[in-house]
């Protein structure tokens, strides 16, 4: 699918441990205090995940090639799926289709 966001598999989530609800980091560590209600635990987990996403710079971003907005997985993800896939095949044909001399850097 073009322009879809594939969320990371490991996310901050809520688990019941010892009769209380706890927020668990992607690494499996307990984060924050225990919660009595599921609503409070889920809200805390969502806030922590939103902060982690902001820190990782996940979210909507314009494609550097075509300018369409797509859901970026982070700062490393700058091209939408369409342009990224289109570029793979096209980049392989550049040297064979080029009429200009290929310049090499001095070693």
Number of domains the chain contains: 1
Q: Is residue 67 part of a domain?
A: yes
Q: Is residue 5 part of a domain?
A: no
Q: Is residue 35 part of a domain?
A: yes
* Tokens 């289109």, located at residue: 86
**Section 32-48 average pLDDT:** 95
- CA-based end-to-end distance of the chain: 43
> What does residue 92 show for φ and ψ, rounded to 5 degrees?
-75, -25
Q: Is residue 1 part of a domain?
A: no
Higher pLDDT, 63 or 99: 63
Q: Is residue 3 part of a domain?
A: no
Rounded-to-integer distance, Cα 49 and Cα 41, Å: 12
Question: Which H or E element spans position 68?
Answer: none
**Section 84-99 average pLDDT:** 58
Which pLDDT value is given to residue 86?
83
CA 66, 71, 75, 79 dihedral sign is negative
Q: Is residue 2 part of a domain?
A: no
Q: Is residue 32 part of a domain?
A: yes
Higher pLDDT, 74 or 101: 74
Tell me what the pLDDT averaged over the chain comes to.
Answer: 80
- pTM for the structure as a whole: 0.50
Q: Is residue 60 part of a domain?
A: yes
- pLDDT tens-digit readout, 53-91: 877 787 888 999 999 999 888 878 889 999 988 865 555
Domain containing 41: what range?
Answer: 13-97
């Amino acid at each position: 699918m073009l322009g879809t966001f594939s969320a990371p598999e490991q996310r901050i989530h809520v688990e019941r441990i010892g009769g209380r609800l706890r927020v668990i980091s992607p690494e499996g560590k307990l984060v924050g205090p225990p919660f009595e209600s599921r609503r409070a635990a889920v809200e805390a987990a969502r806030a922590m995940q939103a902060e982690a996403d902001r820190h990782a710079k996940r979210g909507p971003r314009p494609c550097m090639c075509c300018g369409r907005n797509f859901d970026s997985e982070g700062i490393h993800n700058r091209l939408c799926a369409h342009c990224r896939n289109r570029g793979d095949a096209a980049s392989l044909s550049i040297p064979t289709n080029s009429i200009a001399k290929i310049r090499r850097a001095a070693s």
